[in-house]
A and B are shown apart, each in its own frame.
Chain A
Amino acid sequence: GAVVSQHPSWVICKSGTSVKIECRSLDFQATTMFWYRQFPKQSLMLMATSNEGSKATYEQGVEKDKFLINHASLTLSTLTVTSAHPEDSSFYICSARDRGAPPNQPQHFGDGTRLSIL
């Protein structure tokens, strides 16, 4: 089945550091990938939609200069949290759908990246 891989799975870093998270579709191509954020005991909140070869679309309230998204190929999207601070600590999850599949086919999710900023 369709597999989405996220890396790293866990990262701890100092305040002010920039952190890059990768999301890869391993056995399919994805023109669109999605980035979610999840705080403890809360549901997933969509942050942005990553579009291959074009600019990402950000949800209201998400700072595009803070969360840089690059979708340079059909199998890779990256999320960079710039100058991270403790309030950016969260569980970041990406998802993707096979571009060759019908629109009603489901998205597949990565296993998430737990980011802890000290």
Chain B
Amino acid sequence: DAKTTQPTSMDCAEGRAANLPCNHSTISGNEYVYWYRQIHSQGPQYIIHGLKNNETNEMASLIITEDRKSSTLILPHATLRDTAVYYCIVRPYNAGNMLTFGGGTRLMVKP
């Protein structure tokens, strides 16, 4: 699987948009970008995924650059409950479903 690079930590003010970057410069054509988050002492929670088009759901938006070498997860109005570790993972379409977790970004939403 392609390796991802994320900042170790980020802060965001409550109510503002949180923009979490992810670099995946070695991504292959059939690899999807997945975002999960892990709130303290819980299992990872799926947020969103995409291949090349931007995606939006009730939780977040995913912006993938045209060359697909990086992406940004956007939480439009961060709340204190969004404080978590956010993981960006790339995985081929038929990889057998295994996910490889990197270090992630620890997002701290502050009042």
Binding site for B on A (CB under 8 A): 4, 6, 32, 34, 36, 43-46, 49, 91, 93, 95, 97, 103-104, 106-112, 114
Contact = CB atoms under 8 A, between A and B. Distances in A.
Contacts of B46: 106-109
Contacts, number: 57
Interface residues of B, number: 25
Interface of B: 32, 34, 36, 38, 41-46, 49, 51, 87, 93-104
B97 A32 contact: yes
Contacts of A106: 34, 36, 46, 49
Given A43-B102, A46-B98, 8 more contacts: A43-B87, A43-B101, A46-B100, A49-B96, A103-B94, A104-B51, A109-B36, A112-B41
Nearest to B99: A107
B87 to A, nearest CB: 8
A63 to B, nearest CB: 20
A44 B95 CA distance: 18
Given A104-B32, A104-B93, A106-B49, A44 B101 contact: yes
A109 B103 contact: no
A111 B42 contact: yes
